[in-house]
Structure formats: structure tokens, C-alpha cells
Amino acid sequence: MNRFPSSLAGGALLLSLALGAGAAQVVERVPGPGEAGSSAAQRREALPRVPENLPGWLDNKKQNHIFYKRGRYNFDVYNLPRLARDLNGVSVGHAMAYEDLVTGKAGRLETKTFARIDRVLKDPPKFMPDEAALSPTFVRKYGVLEQVFDWTHILHAQTVDVLASKKLTQAEKDREIERLWKYYFESVPYAVTPLPLNMDYLYSQPYSQKFRNTYPKVNGLFWGYHWLQGAMYDLLYRVAPEDQKASYDLAGEQYRKVELYRTDRPFMPMFAEVSPVFGARFPHIANAFDNLHMLHDMVNDILASEWLSEREKEEQIKLAIWMVSAEAHRGEKPGTESADRLHDHRHFVGMPGMGMMKGMTPELMWMPELGWMSMADCHHCSMPLWEGNEAWRNAAVSADGWTMRTRCVLCARDMSAETKGRAILRIPTENPDRVLVVISDEQGNLKTSTPGAVFLEQEESHTGCEEWSRAFTSRAAFEAYVKAHPKLKEAKALSFDEWAQREGKEPDTYAPARGPVENPYRTEVRGAK
Amino acid sequence: MGGWKCGSVRVRALTQYAIRITHPNARRILTWGLAIVTAFASATSAHAVDHNNIDAHRPLSFDDAEAIAFREQALEFGLNLGWPRNRPLGVGLDAEYLYGFAMNSHLHVGFEPSVGGRAGTDDTRFDPGDVSVGLFHNFNRQYGNTPALSLRADLFAPTGRDAKGVAFRLRGIASRQAGQYGRFHVNLDLAGIPGAARDERQFVPGVVLGYSRPVGYPTRFDSTALAELSVRAGEERGTGGVVGIGLGFRKQVGVRSVVDFGIQSDIAGWDGTPRDRLRVIAGYSYGF
């Protein structure tokens, strides 16, 4: 049974059949200045102009290194040595590609450079290398850009250190992540904006997509790095240390074997597609990381556009930094729309940590192979997801590179069963700080590091699934819950093995989401998986 | 021997080490130094500085033009063995604390206890050495063809044996990319002892040309090799200059910790200026 992905895709297929040619017209677009059929002169004419009176920090010639915020969790990512090493490899990969791009070696990016990076990714360094030492020419030319990258990478590193810490409680972790954000945001003028940005706009510049189309393998590596830098958050957030390791054993393999080598993505992996739980809890951080990753894409495209002069490249990179900077959006609010698409800060309903994407609406987002969905609803039963202070009650399933939230425990289990390959389930218990991690193997067999967990599953309509589908850390917790809910007094406490063998009915509330077109990226997918 | 003889030794200490290991206190210093280095090496694998950022004495005599990061702190330790010409072997400890107190700036406090013969003096007794306080400021990173430029200023309080007066050193530093991954570092020094004795120079200029290059690329990213060529004036009037060379190696051994090894030699000197046959240096740094 593989209902989940196919059901969504199937809905989209039905919709596209219904819309017929109209749908095709929606996705068909007039070639932009950056695409085939337009001359360099036309593209140059369409280049956005660098505004006058940009702030001085965009031209600073300082070194401006800032150390990590002090914390007893610093470098705790090494509690997960393989994740730490993979992240070290990401730094090498970024730096090597940039150095070759600016030293006249772009022509060998897909061959020698790719092979060199790939060798490092397969045996990543034990310690985080200094990217500036690996790409000295790039840093000399684009020092301010390096400052933006470096500073936001420190936010990446420290937030992961906090999540991987064995010394902090969950509440302490949540508080420290907010402090880290404050430290990041207030220490320098070149912080990336926490507002959702319109990704379609940013990826529709005259130079856009050049890197992806010219260097698909190295672009795939970049997007693989960004997948890891997003996916690791939900793998670690609210998860016990022993389960973090088990989770990364699986996810790391997905990263190293699949995500790094995908060339069929129509767009970079968005944070909320791979870490929706953390993205909903810390939307400002999710947005900042997406905006940073988009800056990477914009810079890659600029550097790969041979029709741009060196001076134009410098100007456009400076402008790209400005576009994603916090200062360019000062005083603006998340959720607001603007005629100026640079200042369009709408986000998806149910997901404040994700800006608008091509052809999508705030109500519906689209993901490759999964199709259309509402980010406010359970992706298995279509019931509303928990929000705000209740968001911890959502379960989550990570499989095949994506992560989805579900409203109840049954939905998580059955969604994983309907998905090909291995999966990681993160299931809430009665204790908001104790998430039960369940790993599914290729055959759908489930295992957990907490075999003493007890389950309630007295299946009824999914309109009330939060009541009859639950997990508990102990028998006592189960009994206390049943006692408080007389309606469930006959309910049987299921052991993990009993629960794992079950399979629910198709949710009576499930309603496939229907988007305006089958695939908003249809004209842009070049590769084949 | 007058106090300004010691002053000469203090100036020399800015760029070199020379201590006699046969002295009874030598073993004590060596033991304590090794104990400190070992303690940090084993206890703090999660801290220290980067192998590619180079500070004077770790292990050679030149600085690169990079300040440590704002709000970063670092401790740097080194042990050195010196064989001065016509004098016995010696040993010394070099320790420095650095703090990035502002963007692109750090201050440092150091001390250099030593025992044994030093080039330029016959005194071999234990010397607690002068305590130094310094300021390092980076004016700009390298951009285009403009090298990264920094200034370092040190004051040496007369806490050493027979020391009098406050000595200083000003060091201008330029670092520039050389080839794709290498860097040249030029250090221009002016060491001064206000009120120096008649037979000594009040101001002693020097220059160090350093080169550093990460080694192991593209498969290893944890080591840097260093080399230097230095020229400095003799401290005593009537003596000539000294030409020194050095080779060094820095290797990251922890997330923020680096060990270093180096050898230096004064290969030429004129008009009787004292010099060292060989110096061997081993150190450990960590940032936190």
C-alpha cells in the first residue's frame, strides 16, 4: 500500500485533467531575460538596478569576525560525530565550488571540481575547516558576502549545538535558541531578514537558474547541503540524545546516498519542507535560513552568468545581499503582501516559516512527488494541525527526503507505512518534552528505543483522532488519561509491538488538496530521477 | 652587568628564545610547561584557534594580519629550547592570553619565564621575564590588491630579573595572498627601550617575512606550514644585524585547539652580535 504520496499526486493529476489546456497555460511562461531566446543585451537591460545610497556596510573592507555566543552547549554537535563531519564537508563543498568559480575554473566544475568535492563529502574532515582559507580568492573579491555567509552559518552551527546538547533541558533549549537569534540579529548590520521572502521573485532574476542549468551536479550538491542544513532541525528538535543518533544514522545515509546527487529538484529544498516542526516553532529562523540559501543560489547564478562583466557581477551580488538583508525590510511585517514583490512577505497558512513559491497560494503549497497540500492540515487525514502552544501535539514523519506533520499517532504510523523506504516517526507523548522516536525499515517494520511505550488506538472518525489515538511513556500515564476520559474506559493499552502491527482505515476526513495546476515547475524540471 | 644588559635581553625576547636547560630550574619549568600543555590538550578538545591563523611565537616570530574574533578568547602556550652560540642549552615557557574586546581588535597579556643562558647575557639564573600587555588592531581585510593591514603594540613591564623601565614594541603587519592558497606576511618591527644604556641602541628595528600555506588540500584541512626569514639590528651599539630563518607547522588537534612545532636559527650575524644556533619550539593554543 502506498496511498500517501500517490494520493496527493493523484489529486493533482485529476485536477490537471479537469483543467486541461488551461492548466498548461498557467505554467507556460514567456521566456524571461535569463532564459533561452533572450540576448545578453536584453538580459542586461532587465538586470535590477543597484539602488543609490545603500548602507555603508555593503562596502565594508573590514574583517569583522565575531565569535560564537558563549554557551555550555558550544560544539555539542560533536555529540553526533557523523552529523558534525557531514557539516564540515558542507563547508568544504561550498568553498571549493566558489573558489573554482572565481578563478577561471568554472569549466571543470562538473568534472574535476565535482569529483574533488565528492571525495571530501565521502570522507569529511574531522574539524570544521576555515572556508576563507579554502576559497581565498572568492573571499578577497566578495568579502562582505563571506561575512553574511559566515555569520549565518554560525547561527546554523550554534542552533544545532543547542539541539544536540545533552546538558540542556528542552525548555532551556527553546530559550537559548531565541537568545541565539537575538545575538545573531543584533550583533551585526548584515543579518539576513527573518521575514518570509517571495522565493519565486528572487529566483526570477535575469541571471536566475543559470547555475542549475549549467552545472546540475554541483548545484545538486549545493541543494543537498541545504537539505541537510534544514532537515537536521526536526531530526534533533525535542528528540532525546540516543534517538538523535539513531535518527541521523538513517537521515545521514539519505543525505549521502540520495540528497547530494539529486538533479531533478525544481527548486532548492525549503526549510519547512524538511523541518516543519522547527519551522513552525521558530519561523524567523526558518525564514532566515531559506533566505540565506536563496542568496547562495542567486550568487551561484550570478557567478555562472558569463554574459555579466566582473563589475556587473560585483554589483548584482551586492544587490542580492541587500535584497535578503534584514535592513532592506526594516519595519515590515510577516504576512503582508506588497505590489513590490521584493517586499511580499506572505507565508503559507499554517507555516509562517516559509515564503511564497512559484505558482502557489498561501493556502496551498506544492512539493515534488507529493503534489499539493495545505500546511495547516494533517497530511494524512486533512484535519487541522495543532498550532501555537499546542503544536507539540503534532507527530511528524520523515521519509524519502521530506518531513510531514500529522495530527495523530495513527496518521504518523500509517503515513510511514504508505511510503516507500525507511522512515522516522516522531510521536508526541503525554509529556511535551518527551518525543517517542520510531524507525521504520524498508519493509515497514517499526522499532523504537522506548519499547515500554504504551498506545491508545480506539479508531473512530478522524474528527476526534486526537482523543483516541495517542502514545504514552508508561502504563501509568495511559491509565491516568483513560481515567480522565470515561468514554475510553474500555480502551485497551497496546504495547509497542501490538500498535506497530496495526493499520488504520483510510481516514474518513481525508480530502486531497487541489492546486491551480498540476505542477507549477513543469517548465523547469530538466533532470530525471 | 648593568640593567640595560637585561634590557637588551628583553628586546631580544620579542623575537627569539634562548635559555639554558642545564640550569637547576630548567627541569621545573619544563615539567610545569608540559603539564599545562598536556592538561589543556586532554581537557579541551572542544576549543581553540584555527591552524591557519598565525600569532607570533606560535611557533615562529611573525603574526598574520588577522585579529581573533570579537568576543573570542584564546590561551596560547609554548615551550622552547635554545642553543645560543657559546652558551649552554636553555628552556623557557611562553604563555599568552588573548581577548577580542572589539570588532577587529584584541588585547593580549603574556609572560615568558625562562632559565638558563640567553644570547647576549651570561646570566643563567631563573628569570620570571617581563609581563607584556599588547593591543592588536586590524585595519582592513585583504581586498583586491590591497593587503590586510594590522598594527600591534606591546608594552613590557619590568618584572624580569634586573629589568628597569618599560620597553615597547610596535609592529606593522601586512598579509597578502601568494598563489592560490599561500599567504605572505610582512612584519615591520620597532622595539624601543627609552633610556637605554650608552652601549645600547634605544630603538631596534627589524623585519620578518613570513609565509604560510595550508597543507593537505584537497583531502586534509587541518594543517598549515610556515616559514620565515628575519633581519633585525643588533641591540648593542657597534654590533651588526642578525639574519634568522625558521620553519614551522601548525596542526588542528581539536575543534578549537592547535598544536605547533617550529625550529629557528640565526644563520648570520655581523660584528659580534649575539645569536642563537638553534631554537626548537612546541606549543599549544586553544580558543574559547
pLDDT tens-digit map of A322-360? 999 999 999 999 999 999 999 999 999 999 999 999 999
Q: Is the sign of the CA dihedral A446, A224, A117, A75 positive or negative?
A: negative
| pLDDT surpassing 80 at residue A293 | yes
CA distance A92 to chain B (A): 9
Question: Taking a contact as any Cβ pair under 8 Å apart, which residues of chain A between 108 and 127 contact chain B?
Answer: 116, 119-120, 123, 125-127
DSSP three-state, residue A328: helix
Please enumerate in sequence order all residues whose Cβ is within 8 A of that of A195, keeping only pairs 6 or more positions apart, or say none: A287, A329, A332, A333, A334, A345, A355
pLDDT tens sequence across A153-172: 999 999 999 999 999 999 99
Least reliable range by pLDDT among A252-266, A357-371, B43-57, B104-118: B43-57
Please enumerate in sequence order all residues whose Cβ is within 8 A of that of A454, keeping only pairs 6 or more positions apart, or say none: A471, A472, A473, A474, A475, A477, A478, A493, A494, A495
Distance from C-alpha of A422 to C-alpha of A433, rounded to nearest angstrom: 25
**The three three-digit cell numbers of residue A381, written as one number:** 487525514
CA distance B215 to chain A (A): 11
pLDDT tens sequence across B27-38: 554 455 445 444
Least reliable range by pLDDT among A24-38, A300-314, B121-135, B216-230: A24-38
CA distance B105 to chain A (A): 9
Residues in chain B with CB shorter than 8 Å from the CB of A61 are 140-141, 143, 146
Closest CA to A298 of A322, A281, A278, A279: A322
- B180–A136 CB contact, under 8 Å: yes
Least reliable range by pLDDT among A205-219, B59-73, B187-201: B187-201
Closest CA to A415 of A339, A491, A503: A503
How many CB pairs below 8 A link A and B?
Answer: 94
Residue of A nearest to B254 (CA): A127
Distance from C-alpha of B114 to C-alpha of B129, rounded to nearest angstrom: 7
Asked if residue B133 lies in contact with residue B109, where contact means CB atoms within 8 angstroms, the answer is yes
pLDDT tens sequence across B4-32: 233 344 444 444 433 333 444 555 544 55
Distance from C-alpha of A384 to C-alpha of A376, rounded to nearest angstrom: 6
Residue of B nearest to A75 (CA): B46
The owner of cell 517494520 is: A445
Residues in chain A with CB shorter than 8 Å from the CB of B50 are 130, 133
| pLDDT surpassing 60 at residue B243 | yes
pLDDT confidence tier of residue A524, bands split at 50, 70 and 90: low
Supply the mean pLDDT for chain A.
90
Distance from C-alpha of B82 to C-alpha of B116, rounded to nearest angstrom: 9
Across the interface, of A66, A119, A133, the residue whose CB is closest to B70 is: A66
Residue of B nearest to A88 (CA): B221
Asked if residue A107 lies in contact with residue B110, where contact means CB atoms within 8 angstroms, the answer is no
Per-residue confidence (pLDDT) for residue A153, from 0 to 100: 94
| pLDDT surpassing 90 at residue A147 | yes
The owner of cell 633581519 is: B231
Q: What are phi and psi of B263, to 5 degrees?
A: -130, 145
What is the torsion angle, in degrees rounded to the nearest 10, for the CA atoms of residue A140, residue A146, residue A148 and residue A154? -140
Q: What is the mean pLDDT of residues A270-290?
A: 97
A70 in B contact zone (CB under 8 Å): yes
Give bridge partners of residue B248 from the DSSP assignment.
B226, B262
Distance from C-alpha of A275 to C-alpha of A434, rounded to nearest angstrom: 18
DSSP three-state, residue A201: helix
Per-residue confidence (pLDDT) for residue B275, from 0 to 100: 82
Across the interface, of A70, A130, A136, the residue whose CB is closest to B50 is: A130
A527 in B contact zone (CB under 8 Å): no
Length of chain A: 529
- B143–A123 CB contact, under 8 Å: no
DSSP string, chain B: --HHHHHHHHHHHTT----EETSHHHHHHHHHHHHHHHHHHHH-TT----TTS--TTSSSS---SPPPPBT-EEEEEEEEEEEETTS--EEEEEEEEEEEEETTEEEEEEE--EES-BTTB---S-B---EEEEEEEEEE--BTTBPEEEEEEEEEES-STT--S-EEEEEEEEEEEETTTEEEEEEEEEEE-TT--TTB-SEEEEEEEEEEEEESTTT--SEEEEEEEEEE--SBTT---EEEEEEEEEEEEETTEEEEEEEEEEEEE-TT---EEEEEEEEEEEE-
Across the interface, of A67, A137, A140, the residue whose CB is closest to B70 is: A67
Taking CA atoms, A301 is separated from A28, A261, A407, B213, in Å, by 22, 19, 40, 30
| pLDDT surpassing 90 at residue A523 | no
| pLDDT surpassing 90 at residue B188 | yes
- Among B45, B141, B176, B212, most A C-beta atoms within 10 A, so best to mutate, is B141
A49 in B contact zone (CB under 8 Å): no
Q: What are phi and psi of A42, to 5 degrees?
A: -65, -45
- What's the complex ipTM? 0.84
Closest CA to B98 of A161, A67, A72, A76: A67
Taking CA atoms, B4 is separated from B11, B84, B120, in Å, by 10, 20, 11
pLDDT confidence tier of residue B160, bands split at 50, 70 and 90: confident
Residues in chain B with CB shorter than 8 Å from the CB of A96 are 218
With residue A200 as reference, give the H or E element that holds it. helix A199-202
Please enumerate in sequence order all residues whose Cβ is within 8 A of that of A205, keeping only pairs 6 or more positions apart, or say none: A34, A47, A48, A298, A301, A316
- Among B143, B224, B252, B286, most A C-beta atoms within 10 A, so best to mutate, is B143
Closest CA to A64 of A193, A189, A181: A189
Query: Is the pLDDT higher at B75 or at A34?
Result: B75
With residue A425 as reference, give the H or E element that holds it. strand A423-428
Which range has highest mean pLDDT (A494-508, A509-523, B150-164)?
A: A494-508
Distance from C-alpha of A74 to C-alpha of B275, rounded to nearest angstrom: 45
pLDDT tens sequence across A370-418: 899 999 999 999 999 999 999 999 999 999 999 999 999 999 999 999 9
Per-residue confidence (pLDDT) for residue A220, from 0 to 100: 97
Please enumerate in sequence order all residues whose Cβ is within 8 A of that of A99, keeping only pairs 6 or more positions apart, or say none: A134, A135, A136, A137, A138, B180
B59 upstream amide cis, omega within 30 of 0? yes
Residue of A nearest to B71 (CA): A67
Question: Taking a contact as any Cβ pair under 8 Å apart, which residues of chain B between 44 and 73 contact chain A?
Answer: 46-47, 50, 52-53, 66-72
- A125–B220 CB contact, under 8 Å: yes
- B252–A78 CB contact, under 8 Å: no
Closest CA to B138 of A447, A169, A54, A63: A63
* Percent of chain B at pLDDT exceeding 70: 83
pLDDT tens sequence across B247-281: 999 999 999 899 999 999 999 988 888 888 899 99
Per-residue confidence (pLDDT) for residue A359, from 0 to 100: 92
| pLDDT surpassing 70 at residue B220 | yes
B214 in A contact zone (CB under 8 Å): yes
The owner of cell 598544536 is: B259
B181 in A contact zone (CB under 8 Å): yes
| pLDDT surpassing 70 at residue A34 | no
DSSP string, A9-54: HHHHHHHHHHHTHHHHHHH--PPPTTSTT--HHHHHHHSPPPPSS-
Closest CA to A292 of A315, A268, A309: A268
Residues in chain A with CB shorter than 8 Å from the CB of B143 are 61, 140-141, 143
Distance from C-alpha of A328 to C-alpha of A221, rounded to nearest angstrom: 30
pLDDT confidence tier of residue B42, bands split at 50, 70 and 90: very low
* Percent of chain A at pLDDT exceeding 70: 92
